[in-house]
Amino acid sequence: MAGLFAASFALYIQSTTMMEAAMGETKKTKVLIIGSGPAGYTAAVYAARAMLEPVLVQGIQPGGQLTITTEVENWPGETEIQGPDLMVKMESHAKAMGAEVITDIITDLDLSKRPFIAQSDSGTVYEAAAVILATGAQARWLDLPSEEKFKGFGVSACATCDGFFYRGKEVVVIGGGNTAVEEALFLTNFASKVTLIHRRDTLRSEKILQERLFKNPKIEVLWNHAVEEVLGDENPLGVTGVRVKSTVDGAEKVVPCDGFFVAIGHAPSSELVTEQLKLHSGGYVWVDPGSTRTSVEGVFAAGDLTDHTYRQAVTSAGMGCMAALDAEKWLAEQGEAE
Ligand SMILES: Cc1cc2nc3c(=O)[nH]c(=O)nc-3n(C[C@H](O)[C@H](O)[C@H](O)COP(=O)(O)OP(=O)(O)OC[C@H]3O[C@@H](n4cnc5c(N)ncnc54)[C@H](O)[C@@H]3O)c2cc1C
């Protein structure tokens, strides 16, 4: 029921706000927030409460990454809430505080002069004194249809988020870099057995991590295999194993498991600013340490877009708060806050 409510509410929001954003108008705002994940909505709450009348553009995934998961158990104040429901609450909160939330996609952003100009999919042009970038990141997936089917029902890209659900169970991790090894080690805190599957015969991760991995009695490494299909039950929907194929001789076999963790990396959604802002390797937006200030004055960044380490809803929300406070201070210095 909760899911149905979320879906219909999201549709309602979409139909009303799309109308608002249409017709090629120019919308002026003190603060333009790009992105509607935990970072964007938290920034909107704080900016609205600071009387900055923020405009938030939701993008192609209103509500962000949490809309594609089920239970969230680590959002303070909620012992268990469905990801989409949490994001509907955040959206309502931002609106209740006075933020204008618009379903639209920013297609081009000019940060070379002020006011900053954003072009959008609907034809609306946004003119902003300050910009908060909260466009998040996307986990890299294998792009198997079976992986898609079981996302949130045994397939995950976040051990920190979902490892807890696999207490005493067997899990598979796919990947060969630092992320995969760290996720495999982390999962041994819960799982009875962790199988790390890698398509080559060596790992790319740091040697010290490899040492810890090989020493851990709960971890088995399956070399030279690629995942062909995630296997599972229909009712209730859940993973029971993965079908793998040898990259050496093509032989297939099934590895039984209850959870399947894809750890082949993340891609920050920084396309709008690639040529305009200083970035970390991997495309994450650089911010002045301890703040959300980017390399362009008046432009702030928050959440997974700038964070390659923690990547959690609560840390993103925290950075969204920081971005709104940083923007407020900067606007006041420019005489633009009132
Ligand atoms: C399957 C899954 C399960 C997870 N479970 C948990 C969990 O249990 N607990 C936890 O703490 N974390 C969890 N996470 C991680 C958490 O979802 C992220 O850390 C968090 O959502 C990041 O928030 P964000 O606001 O930075 O960006 P995102 O949530 O990534 O949102 C980015 C937003 O930017 C918008 N956007 C992008 N490009 C544009 C554009 N051009 N114009 C306008 N808007 C744009 C998108 O539409 C989206 O709304 C999970 C992640 C996944 C994938």
Report pLDDT digits (tens) over 29-53: 999 999 999 999 999 999 999 999 9
Query: Based on the number of CB atoms within 10 Å of its own CB, is 152 exposed (0-12), middle (13-18) or buried (19 or more)?
Result: middle
- How many CB atoms neighbour CB 268 within 10 A? 22
Percentage with pLDDT > 90 across the chain: 83
Residue 196: is its pLDDT beyond 90?
yes
State whether the beta carbon of 185 lies less than 6 angstroms from ligand 1.
no
State whether the beta carbon of 161 lies less than 6 angstroms from ligand 1.
yes
Residue 335: is its pLDDT beyond 50?
yes
What six digits make up the tokens of 96? 């209740």
Question: What confidence category does residue 215 fall into, taking pLDDT thresholds of 50, 70 and 90?
Answer: very high
Query: In angstroms, what is the span from residue 33 Cα to ligand 1's centroid?
Result: 14
Percentage with pLDDT > 70 across the chain: 93
Residue 20: is its pLDDT beyond 80?
no
- How many CB atoms neighbour CB 49 within 10 A? 14
What atom of ligand 1 comes closest to residue 319's alpha carbon? 26
Average pLDDT, integer, range 73-89: 94
Average pLDDT, integer, range 81-99: 97
Q: What is the pLDDT of residue 187?
A: 96
Q: What is the pLDDT of residue 186?
A: 94
Ligand 1 pocket test target in 58, 65, 132, 319 with most atoms within 8 Å of CB: 65
What atom of ligand 1 comes closest to residue 156's alpha carbon? 1
99: nearest Cα among 6, 36, 25 = 36
Average pLDDT, integer, range 261-268: 92
Average pLDDT, integer, range 224-250: 97
Residue 298: is its pLDDT beyond 50?
yes
pLDDT tens per residue, range 128-169: 999 999 999 998 999 999 999 999 899 999 898 899 999 999
State whether the beta carbon of 36 lies less than 6 angstroms from ligand 1.
yes
What six digits make up the tokens of 277? 């802002």
Query: In angstroms, what is the span from residue 300 Cα to ligand 1's centroid?
Result: 17
Query: What domains sit in the chain, N to C, each tagged with a CATH number?
Result: 2-138+266-333 (3.50.50.60), 145-262 (3.50.50.60)
Average pLDDT, integer, range 205-232: 96
Q: What is the pLDDT of residue 106?
A: 98
DSSP 130: E
Residue 79 φ/ψ, nearest 5 degrees:
-70, -35
Query: In angstroms, what is the span from residue 270 Cα to ligand 1's centroid?
Result: 13
State whether the beta carbon of 318 lies less than 6 angstroms from ligand 1.
no
Contacts of residue 307, Cβ cutoff 8 Å, sequence gap at least 6: 284, 315, 316, 319
Query: In angstroms, what is the span from residue 313 Cα to ligand 1's centroid?
Result: 7
Query: In angstroms, what is the span from residue 37 Cα to ligand 1's centroid?
Result: 5
48: nearest Cα among 11, 93, 88, 107 = 93
Residue type present at position 159 = A
Contacts of residue 59, Cβ cutoff 8 Å, sequence gap at least 6: 34, 35, 36, 104, 105, 106, 135
Say if residue 289 is preceded by a cis peptide, omega within 30 of 0: no
- How many CB atoms neighbour CB 306 within 10 A? 28
CA separation for the pair 74, 303 (Å, rounded): 16
The catalytic residues are: 158, 161-162
What are 106's strand-pairing partners?
120
Average pLDDT, integer, range 289-307: 97
Question: Angle of helix 38-49 relative to helix 83-96, nearest 10 degrees?
Answer: 20
State whether the beta carbon of 138 lies less than 6 angstroms from ligand 1.
no
Question: What confidence category does residue 19 fall into, taking pLDDT thresholds of 50, 70 and 90?
Answer: very low
Q: What is the pLDDT of residue 195?
A: 98
